[in-house]
Structure formats: C-alpha cells, structure tokens
C-alpha cells in the first residue's frame, strides 16, 4: 500500500500523457507559443505500462489519463488499450475535441465515463478562453458520448467576471440532459493570471444556484473531491470542487505522474521524483514511490491554506497546470 505520514492510503493515479494540447486555455497554458516537451523525454507506451504495473502492485486501482490533452498523443489508443488490461478503473479527462475518434475504443475497453472540459455555453467566449474555434466540435462530441451510453461529467472552471453568469445555464442544461456538471474553483499555477478576486467560491456558486433552483446535497463517496448536489426532477447533477475555499486534502488518495515521468504527491507539491529516469536506469522505482509519498504535505502541497485571499502567487513554487496534468 502507498501510505503517507498522515495515514492516507493512495490508490488513485492520474497520469499525464503529454503537455501538448490543441487548445490554449489561458488559465492552464500560460503562453500561446509554449514549447512542448520533445517526445523522447516523455514516457513511452511501454514505460507508462511498466510504471503503472508497479503502482497497481502497490495498491492503485484507479487510473485517470489526463494532460495536456491526452487524446492528441499519436499513441493514445495504444496506451489506453494497454492500461485497460490492468485491474483498474480506467478513466480520462479530455477537452473533448478528439472524442469522435475514440468512442469505439472506449466501448471496446469498457471506459464508460469521461470528464470533458467546457467553461462556457457560448461559442465566442469559448474562443476567448481556449484561443481556438472548437466549440461546436466539443458540443457534438458531448452528444456523441451520451448517445453511446457513456456517463459525461463536464468540468467548468468558474472565474469571476468571465463565466460566473453562466452557472444557472449549466444547471438548466441538466434538466433534460443527463450531464454531471463539476464547477471547479479557479486555482493558481505558474503564469496563469490567477488573482484571489477571480475565485468564485463554493458558497458563491451555491448562492447563485439557490436563487433559481431548489437543490439537495447528495451523499459523498469516499475520497470525493467534490461536493455533489441535484435538483429534483433534473436528469443530470452538479458538484463543486472547492480546492481554494474548502479543501478536501484530509481524505486525499491521489498521486500524479507527469508526462515526463515525475511523480508528484499533490497538485501543489514542490517536490518531484524522477521515476522515468530511474526506470530507464534499471533502478528500484518502488522504493522511490514510497519515499516520495512519505514527504506528502498535510494539505495543498504545504504551499498555502484555505485563506486564499492572502496567497502571494509569486511565492508558489510549481509548474503550470498543463505541465502537471490536471
């Protein structure tokens, strides 16, 4: 078992397949002309499989593929097929632009739930946020997933003044369509123009929804990062990931592997362990995993607290989100 010094058991691995992406969401990828990591420095298909096997032997039973955009990687299909052979619940977080190329594979390997990012229901605003013209494509692919019986969770990063006025439009969407909306509080990463006054908190989100809908809290599953709710009569549900205002670190079971093979024990951890170089050098990866997890901070990588109004972003030592893997 992978246990940290706060007695948290870690059974959920999030693997970033690449820091490359076909969108340019400003809160995730700092610069338009960002230089992607060369393919040779990324974990190769067999290396992802080997590292995953070690994690599984140590108790991991859930793997989420993320990025960058995991589905822009040329060998994404091969990686998915390979990991689907392991005894894990395999899921994916994607921007949705390439899903039409993968729907048959998902059905074949029993991926029955996908998280798709969509921060706005307006085409022009989508272009503003992502700097690319892919709104219709993403909406069509959401429909395609639903038509093929997959469960669809929609990740919405809520930013004050940008899309907080659309919260109830997303809730309205759940009336007749079985989508599960996950509102995410805006988080600080290197170069992402984060300021505390752009954070729209859990409480603010619930207040907006309460102005129009009656909703009920759902029971949380163990290790849930989100607080879940539903509006009676609606086919979909909604949830809020309140990293900034009310963190869920006490129950954390997550480990991250960046696309260049570095283990991070928290989204905000300063320290990384280079598992890929160790694997390539024939060293013991297992020992490194346990050493790394023992250094896991109690909350938020030890970098800040829920007193987010007082965060000094210049003091946060971390990669940008696109290079970590969300």
Kindly list the residues in this chain that would bind ligand SF4 in the complex (CB under 6 A).
21, 23-25, 28-29, 67-69, 95, 117, 322
DSSP state of 37: P
Q: Which of 83, 114, 150, 157 binds ligand SAM (CB under 6 A)?
A: 157
Nearer to ligand SF4, 21 or 48 (CB): 21
Residues numbered 63-92 forming contacts with ligand SAM, rule: CB under 6 A: 66-67, 69
Whole-angstrom Cα distance, residue 177 to residue 173?
6
Closest CA to 142 of 151, 130, 133: 151
Binding to ligand SAM by CB under 6 A, coded x per residue (else -) over 116-145, reads -x----------------------------
95 binds ligand SAM (CB under 6 A): yes
Q: Which of 12, 55, 183, 189 binds ligand SAM (CB under 6 A)?
A: 189
Whole-angstrom Cα distance, residue 136 to residue 124?
11
Q: Which string of DSSP letters, residue by residue, matches 201-253? A: -HHHHHHHHHTT---EEPPPPTT-SEEEEE-TT-SSEEEEE-TTTS--GGG--
Residue 231 binds which of ligand SF4, ligand SAM, none (CB < 5-8 A, kind-dependent):
none
Residue 186 binds which of ligand SF4, ligand SAM, none (CB < 5-8 A, kind-dependent):
ligand SAM
Q: Which of 192, 226, 258, 273 binds ligand SAM (CB under 6 A)?
A: 192
Residue 29 binds which of ligand SF4, ligand SAM, none (CB < 5-8 A, kind-dependent):
ligand SF4
Whole-angstrom Cα distance, residue 236 to residue 67?
26
Whole-angstrom Cα distance, residue 170 to residue 189?
26
- Nearest-approach distance from CB 131 to ligand SAM, in angstroms: 13
Residue 189 binds which of ligand SAM, ligand SF4, none (CB < 5-8 A, kind-dependent):
ligand SAM
Backbone angles phi, psi at 184, to 5 degrees: -115, 130
Closest CA to 81 of 51, 110, 41: 110
């Amino acid at each position: 078992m992978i246990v940290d010094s706060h007695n948290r058991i870690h059974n959920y691995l999030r693997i970033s397949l690449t820091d490359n992406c076909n969108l340019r969401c400003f809160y995730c990828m700092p610069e338009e002309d960002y230089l992607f990591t060369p393919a040779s420095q990324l974990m190769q298909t067999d290396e992802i499989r080997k590292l995953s096997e070690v994690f599984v032997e140590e108790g991991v039973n859930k793997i989420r593929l993320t990025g960058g955009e995991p589905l822009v990687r040329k060998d994404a299909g091969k990686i998915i097929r390979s990991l689907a052979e392991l005894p894990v619940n395999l899921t994916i977080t994607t921007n949705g632009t390439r899903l039409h190329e993968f729907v048959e594979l998902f059905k074949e390997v029993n991926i029955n739930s996908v998280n798709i990012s969509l921060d706005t229901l307006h085409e022009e605003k989508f272009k503003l946020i992502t700097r690319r013209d892919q709104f219709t494509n993403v909406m069509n692919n959401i429909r395609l997933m639903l038509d093929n019986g997959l469960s669809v969770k929609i990740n919405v990063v809520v930013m004050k003044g940008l899309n907080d006025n659309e919260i109830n439009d997303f809730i309205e969407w759940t009336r007749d369509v079985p989508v599960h909306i996950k509102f995410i509080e805006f988080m600080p990463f290197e170069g992402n123009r984060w300021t505390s006054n752009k954070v729209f908190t859990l409480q603010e989100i619930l207040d907006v929804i309460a102005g129009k809908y009656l909703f009920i809290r759902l029971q949380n599953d163990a290790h849930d990062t989100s607080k879940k709710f539903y509006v009676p009569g609606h086919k979909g549900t909604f949830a809020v990931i309140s990293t900034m205002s009310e963190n869920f670190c006490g129950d954390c079971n997550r480990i991250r592997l960046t696309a260049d093979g570095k283990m991070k024990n928290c989204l905000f951890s300063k320290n990384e362990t280079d598992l890929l170089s160790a694997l390539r050098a024939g060293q013991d990866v297992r020992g490194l995993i346990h050493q790394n997890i023992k250094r896991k901070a109690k909350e938020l990588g030890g970098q800040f607290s829920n007193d987010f109004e007082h965060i000094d972003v210049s003091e946060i030592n971390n990669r940008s989100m696109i290079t970590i893997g969300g």
